[in-house]
Chain A
Amino acid sequence: MSNTFELALEPFHFQIHTDIPLVAENLRLMYGDRVHDVTNQVGILPYIDYILHITHTNGIRRFFRPQARFKCDQYEPFKPLNHSQAFAMLEWGMNWAIASYEMEHVVIHSGVLARGDDAVLFPAPPGSGKSTMTAHLAFNGWRLLSDEMALITPLSQSVTPFVRPICLKNQSIGLAKQWFTDAQFSSIAKDTHKGDVIHLAPPIHQPSDLCRPATIKAIVFPQYQRGAQIDITELNQAQAMYQLADNAFNYSVLGERGFNTLIGVVEKARCFQILYSQASDVQEFLEQEVLQPKLVETVCE
């Protein structure tokens, strides 16, 4: 029994076909009123950017080791995954589609959150605790623009929101469930290439949070270490670029424009490497020392 959903995920519209019940359930949990079941009906959205399929594999395997396949239209970029990972696979598939086809933004693999309209990028490799940080800030007065992909308007420091669930792994799962008791969590995807994975729906305080851009004021390279005292190093521009480059994967398609965008972002932001164990310490630092000073200057004029 196949279902069709439409997902209004500004700035993109997706149509999702699935015959996997856990995908349908998680879509509703994670996206609330942004997702519509349009099975056997005329669609609600006026146009669709990408048509995605997340379905059971065919054949005998379906019965003894069920798997899920992802297709973007007719193209299948991944090998099938274990059935419990189907929703995570859809989320990764959405990332894949945007990363592969959307060239109007410079995309950095990074969390992005904003205090008001001042954005901070959190570019991070696996294991840095980036998503735990993202989750903490999202539930403590910051707005989430994205957990995985910062969409930067070329030749500017402006980030466009692409608000989607936060992806948490392994130990972070238990911690997040303790801290955010009212939040919506997806089912757990077991044994993915990242370990156990769960998705967490971010709070959306007002509708404009979904489409209001923010300006990058800071870049933070977080490194989580259990029990560590907070240790903040301000980076110079060369150091920041050196680290940022590892997380920028489509600037090369945009060529010189992409390159100049990264330069502009690095030169106009304050950049830090932060070793931490308490996300609240990082939050305090950013609010008091990095984003706050602008307000003080205004008052004194």
Chain B
Amino acid sequence: MNSTIDRDLLAQLFVRPELAQSLTLAQWTQVLTVLRHEKLLARYALLLEHETYFDALPKFVQRHCHSAITLAERHAKQVHFELAQLRDTFTAATDTWLVLKGSAYTASGCSAAMGRVYNDIDILVDKPHLSIVERQLIMSGWMPQEIDDYDEAYYRQWTHEIPPLQHGYRGTMMDLHHNLVPPVSGRAPDMSLLFKHIELTDAGIPVLALPAMALHSAIHLFFNDDFSASFRDLTDLYLMFNDMSHAQWETAYSLALETGFATELALAMHCTGDMFQISLTAPQLRFVSTHTTLRQSRWICNAMYSTHPFVATSSQSWYTTYAWLRGHILKMPAKTLLYHLSMKAYRLSVERILGKHFFTKQDKGTDRVMP
């Protein structure tokens, strides 16, 4: 019933927000719906709110923008508060820890913090201290989230994370990592290379410096099997890349080579350039052509678009499947991958036969609306 919007529209709107003035009400309905789904509504709202034509946009658009910004501001406050609470717990247990991903963007105030909304806080700790930190957290009121046995085994055995923790009283979720990628993939870097790039924010929170932060963002996106937030992740990369000086780019290149993730950085650069129609500089072009192939990057780039039904084209699912498979292959050797995939396939088929919620435990969502 609703027609789709052009898949390039969101990217165009991001770099040229003035295009907002030409959207019809019907297009706005779809754009707002997709942006909310991609957790980008607040980011775009902040871009638009600063423009002189914002007040001339349809009233319902202004309303959704204001609401999204209000929510994002509350998320940001919560992250600052949560990190302040956590800082003492972590520093008591280890000298080497840092905040990763979205929470780090907010903590550091970098441009990728714009309009961020959060599900959880990501923290990385050096492996020798992981158990102590886990114990300290549990004593401070953090509890392992209830997940079924298979997922718990998956986390502990195969990945670079422990199962998610949730604060019993405040409800915040935390993911605790000891590496950027699963050791079982054979590509887990020597973390001491990254620890050299830690800097403290004004509030005393350790985060990666911008070049390392951008590299990690690239690794997380292009080494990952979860492309559900790929478009948002690309906007994060765009914002960070936009802020990087020539010297910071040089740092990013060296660190990517040292850690063995030059391909991922190159893919990130190529895809952001392609998606947002940005011309790369000569050094950037050299790096990209050295570390990726055109065929590889074209396939991957096509998987970065939003898969929302209002946007997806018919060939989208192939690209997403390719990217998903690539992510999995990169993360796990063939033998373990087969086991993992067959478990996933088994669960999917059970869900199809018995209905989607066969595996879900008590849904907190229902509690919220009960008057």
Contacts and interface: CB of A to CB of B under 8 A. Distances in A.
- The winner among A13, A41, A80 for most chain B CB atoms within 10 A is A80
A74 B354 contact: no
A293 B307 CA distance: 60
Interface stretch (B241-249, B275-283, B363-371): B363-371
A148 B365 contact: no
Nearest to B34: A73
A231 interface: no
B60 interface: yes
B36 A73 contact: yes
B352 A58 contact: yes
Interface in B16-55: 25-26, 28-29, 33, 36-37
Nearest to A254: B70
A51 B71 CA distance: 20
A96 B363 contact: no
B60 A47 contact: yes
Contacts of B356: 57-59, 69, 80
B100 to A, nearest CB: 25
B62 to A, nearest CB: 9
A13 B351 CA distance: 33
A96 B29 contact: no
Interface centre among B2, B25, B355, B356 (most CB of A within 10 A): B355
B357 A103 contact: no
A96 B355 contact: no
A69 B360 CA distance: 14
Given A47-B26, A74-B37, A57 B355 contact: yes
A4 interface: yes
A46 interface: yes
A189 B356 CA distance: 22
Given A4-B1, A79-B363, A79-B366, A253 B357 contact: no
A168 to B, nearest CB: 13
Interface in B140-199: none
Interface in B57-75: 58, 60, 63-64, 66-68, 70-71, 74
A101 B36 contact: yes
B326 interface: no
A76 to B, nearest CB: 8
A179 interface: no
A109 B371 CA distance: 7
B139 interface: no
Nearest to B66: A104
A180 interface: no
B365 A74 contact: no
Interface string A47-70: 111010000011111100001010
B56 interface: no
B355 A48 contact: no
B353 interface: yes
Contact of B369 (A41, A75, A96): A96
Nearest to B75: A253
A38 B363 CA distance: 33
B7 interface: no
A193 B369 CA distance: 11
B67 A101 contact: yes
B58 to A, nearest CB: 7
Given A41-B1, A57-B356, A78-B369, 18 more contacts: A46-B25, A46-B26, A47-B26, A49-B60, A59-B355, A60-B355, A74-B309, A79-B365, A80-B356, A101-B68, A101-B71, A103-B67, A104-B63, A104-B67, A125-B371, A126-B371, A193-B370, A253-B70
The 3 A-B residue pairs with the shortest CB-CB distance, nearest first, are A77-B365, A103-B70, A103-B67
14 contacts: A47-B25, A47-B28, A59-B351, A61-B354, A69-B356, A73-B36, A74-B309, A80-B357, A96-B369, A99-B368, A101-B36, A102-B67, A126-B371, A193-B366
